[in-house]
Amino acid sequence: KRSVILGCGSYLPARILSNDELAKSVDTTDEWIVQRTGIRERHIAAPGELTSDLATHAARSALAHAHVEADTIDLIILATATPDQTFPATAVTVQNNLGISQGVAFDLQAVCSGFVFALSVADSMLKAGAHKRALVIGAETFSRILDWTDRTTCVLFGDGAGAVVMELQDQPGTNADRGLLTAHLRSDGKHRSKLYVDGGPSSTQTVGHLRMEGREVFKHAVAMITDVIEDAFAATGTTAADIDWFVPHQANKRIIDGSAHKLGISPEKVVLTVDRHGNTSAASIPLALADAIADRRIKRGNLILLEAMGGGFTWGSALLRW
């Protein structure tokens, strides 16, 4: 049996913030941002629009795409580093918004790697047999934790949400080889001070702002990403040539290009949204997946490689047959 993705959906807040508009409030330029990151614009949640609202929209869109009713869901895992509140988990708000009162709902915190971590945890829980159908969501409102006076970080991030519906299916017949083939997760806390938020309930009793040693993150990113992808290749006997679509976490075009190049994945197989979305942390992979499904690039039977790396550091890869 394998965990098969039945549908995928996403949601972006209406407001678009361009580089030129940002350059009016901080000392930066469109040229600098595009050249260093590939980012041209990002979406920003409206005042009062919460992570749970973004997540609920994305979840509804994924349920519609999967042609399943909300009341068939008995597991909701919401990957986020920007929850509505310290507690309860934002996942239970989404559960309530969807009118679901069965099963379990909880948040998972692995920053930008959150979606890959959540996919892997959902897969394990489905295989353990206690749950039948899962909603795996990545949703973030990073605009709420940015220091809008710090040009080295505020230009990089955006808000958004993406979700998938997943269930365990038998493999024989037409389903052969569909589903999540393998997932590999890693973390190493010795890097925790390279990318962090300088607040929290236990430390400062404030929400805090994102702080990052960008050059340090950059330095480690490509090696960590390619390493954990090599694990996925080794576990499945797959090579870069077998991959139909590479759907990476969208932090920086240079990191994505560098990883694809090192792995030997050709540029036309890379799904890119960082230009339009910025870095939406845990939401970026399902947002990119939904994009490539909506415009019919991703087709049934395609082999799709996901990867992410983020604060912690945490990093991971997943390989799935669509």
Q: Which residues are known catalytic residues?
A: 112, 249, 279
Of residues 46-105, which lie at the interface with ligand ACO (CB under 6 A)?
Answer: none
Q: Which is nearer to ligand ACO, 179 or 248 (CB)?
A: 248
The piece of 10-18, 28-36, 47-55, 286-294 that touches ligand ACO (CB under 6 A) is 28-36
Q: Map residues 279-298 to x or -, x wherever contact with ligand ACO holds by CB under 6 A.
A: x-x-----------------
Tokens of 99: 């009118």
Tell me if 246 sits within 8 A of 260, measured CB to CB: yes
Q: Which is nearer to ligand ACO, 244 or 275 (CB)?
A: 275
Tell me if 140 sits within 8 A of 82, measured CB to CB: yes
Q: DSSP labels for 132-199?
A: SEEEEEEEEEGGGS--TT-HHHHTTB-EEEEEEEEEEE--SGGGTT-EEEEEEEEE-GGGGGGEEES-
24 binds ligand ACO (CB under 6 A): no
Taking CB under 6 A as the criterion, the residue among 36, 127, 144, 276 binding ligand ACO is: 36
Tell me if 78 sits within 8 A of 280, measured CB to CB: no
Q: Map residues 239-268 to x or -, x wherever contact with ligand ACO holds by CB under 6 A.
A: ------------xx--x-------------
Instruction: Give the chain's largest Cα–Cα span.
Output: 59
CB of 120 to ligand ACO, least distance (A): 17
Q: Which is nearer to ligand ACO, 90 or 252 (CB)?
A: 252
Size of the site for ligand ACO (CB under 6 A): 23
Q: Which is nearer to ligand ACO, 137 or 195 (CB)?
A: 195
Q: Map residues 128-157 to x or -, x wherever contact with ligand ACO holds by CB under 6 A.
A: -----------------------xx--x--
Tokens of 269: 């197989």
Distance CA 5, CA 125 (A): 15
Distance CA 272, CA 96 (A): 33
b/e sequence 211-231, b meaning 16+ C-beta within 10 Å? bbeeeebbeebbebbbebbeb
Q: Which is nearer to ligand ACO, 165 or 228 (CB)?
A: 228
The piece of 3-11, 131-139, 184-192, 209-217 that touches ligand ACO (CB under 6 A) is 209-217
The piece of 124-132, 198-206, 207-215, 226-234 that touches ligand ACO (CB under 6 A) is 207-215
Q: Which residue, chain included where needed, has tokens 């998972």?
A: 108
Q: Which residue, chain included where needed, has tokens 């930066």?
A: 28
37 binds ligand ACO (CB under 6 A): yes
Q: Map residues 263-282 to x or -, x wherever contact with ligand ACO holds by CB under 6 A.
A: ----------------x-x-
Reduce the secondary structure of 66-114 to three states and give it as a string: HCCCHHHCCEEEEECCCCCCCCCCHHHHHHHHCCCCCCEEEEECCHHHH
The dihedral region occupied by 205, where left means phi > 0, alpha psi between -120 and 50, and beta the remainder, is left
CB atoms within 10 A of CB 36: 16
32 binds ligand ACO (CB under 6 A): yes
Q: Which residue, chain included where needed, has tokens 């190493």?
A: 188
Taking CB under 6 A as the criterion, the residue among 199, 208, 214, 258 binding ligand ACO is: 214
Residues lying near ligand ACO in the complex (CB under 6 A) are found at 28, 32-33, 36-37, 111-112, 151-152, 155, 195, 212, 214-215, 217-218, 251-252, 255, 279, 281, 310-311
